Amino acid sequence: MSSSGEDRLLVERRGPVLVLTLNRPDVRNAIDKPLADAIAAALDEFDADDGLSVGIIAGAGKGFCAGMDLKAFGETGERPWSGDRGFAGIVRRSSDKPLIAAVEGFAVAGGFEIALACDLIVAARGTKLGVPEVKRGLVAAGGALRRLPRILPAAFATELALTGELTTADRLHELGAISRLTEPGGALDGALELAAAIAANGPLALRATKTILRDQWSWDDADFWARQEERVGPVMASDDAREGARAFTEKRPPEWQGR
């Protein structure tokens, strides 16, 4: 395991899976500028490493993340944005590969927005989540106001945003916003199990599928097929695609080369 951002972020490679752990438990893993920069740098390396297929973001200690470091913001006006990746080095541009949030205890304000910037959320039962920014005279500007209405019933998403009240992982799982529920203390193991199922698939196909799912919201119907083909065409022409077909007919596991 390595660390970055003065040990604010722990980076661990587990085969094709990269685990990033927010490591400021004494301040509920609040995001300051050095941590945001460390996350952005880790995602840059993740995207560039052909040996990695899936990423997991977790939090050290009792919870996932409480959002922006309000002490740093109140004292110096520091905003923990990092380049074009935005708040926490992730919410405006995450990664081109699948990301899973492993959430324990709480994910509130910007912490919830980090989880929402991931493709899938695995959370422990009883975990508290929400965007309470309005209670502090702030706005949930890290993507929640865009992403919540896409994954939740409109009335419930609006209520969460306007009241600032928290909800539970159990409720969000019922509504389809959380992929898997675990018992308390089991979110990372659940995320690793899900990551293993994803990482078993073709890496080129995973990246293309992820980017289509992410980018298609800005495409109209006429654009969709052409833009999808831009991503699918190279995959269909790849050695991996032929290997997948051969492995199926030969009834054996595929041996991916990433090309």
Residues identified as active-site: 113, 133
Q: Which residue has the tokens 């660390």?
A: 3
Q: Which of 146, 138, 51 is nearest to 97 (CA)?
A: 51
Q: For residue 207, what are the β-bridge partners? A: none
SS (H, E, C) 166-228: CEEHHHHHHCCCCCEEECCCCHHHHHHHHHHHHHCCCHHHHHHHHHHHHHHHHCCHHHHHHHH
Cβ–Cβ under 8 Å, residues 32 and 76: no
Residue 20, SS3? strand
Contact partners, residue 204, CB within 8 Å, separation at least 6: 234, 235, 238, 240, 241, 258, 259
